[in-house]
Amino acid sequence: MYQLNDFAQRADLDNALASNVAELLSNAISQKGKASLAVSGGSTPKGFFIALSNKDIDWQNVTVTLADERWVDFESDASNTRLVHENLLKNKASAASFFHLKKAGECNKETLTQLNNDAKEHILPLDVLILGMGEDGHTASLFPCSEQITVALAIDNSDALMKVVPKTAPNDRITFTYAHLVQSQNIILHVCGAGKKVVLDKALASNNQNEMPIRAFLQNPDINTQVYWAE
């Protein structure tokens, strides 16, 4: 299910979320000597990234990755890997490791096999997952318009990572599948603005997951998705 945490100002949300994530990562490190964090791209998390980058965490024992990525080069303005490096992996967080989803070459079967093996060995299950949400209710690259959506949402999907080709957004994508995202120890949805609140309310009003994939996280009775929202 979900719990809504709303804030009057985005800066307040960014600071509160950064403090919460820092505590969760530190607890994971205390318990097992390491921690993993998956974040999402776009403009919404920039303030949160900067706030988190200044937190006193044993960053050298933290591995950061993305919930999904566009299959574009690092230099591209569309690269979320670049976004994370420029806004999160700096200051105190510069000591963290980064697990790359985008590799050189094509996103083919061989590349996906290696990525799946590496993810399962080195980073899964995730300690903290920060999701975003699109106007169509997609999260990560679980796009309702894609031909891959049923497989991507299947709870018995043994693949941790898969290729997705959205019909309503540019670039091929690589995404963690729902089956592996939902195993995260802590799941947080970070959204801002009145428009996203409308989308959130729509997602909560029905249970068709293929129509709005974010529903798989908001309406699963076995998990507690923390929703952080600010105007």
Rounded-to-integer distance, Cα 171 and Cα 4, Å = 32
- Count Cβ atoms below 10 Å from residue 42 Cβ, excluding itself: 12
Q: Tell me, what's the pLDDT at 81?
A: 98
- DSSP element (H, E) containing 202: helix 194-204
| Angle between helix 10-32 and 46-53 (nearest 10) | 50
For the chain, what are the domain ranges? 2-230
The token pair at 122 is 């080195």
Give mean pLDDT in consecutive 10-residue pieces for the chain, a chain of 231 residues: 95 98 98 98 96 98 98 96 98 98 95 97 97 97 98 98 96 98 98 97 96 97 96 91
Q: What is the predicted pLDDT for the residue at 122?
A: 95
List, for residues 100-124, the tens digit of each pLDDT value. Answer: 999 999 999 999 999 999 999 999 9
- State the Cα–Cα distance between residues 171 and 192, nearest whole angstrom: 24
Q: Judge contact between 53 and 17, C-beta under 8 A.
A: no
Give the pLDDT score at 121.
96
Whole-angstrom Cα Rg for the chain: 16
pLDDT of residue 174: 98
Q: Which CATH number fits domain 2-230: 1.10.540.10, 3.40.605.10, 3.40.50.1360, 3.40.50.2300?
A: 3.40.50.1360
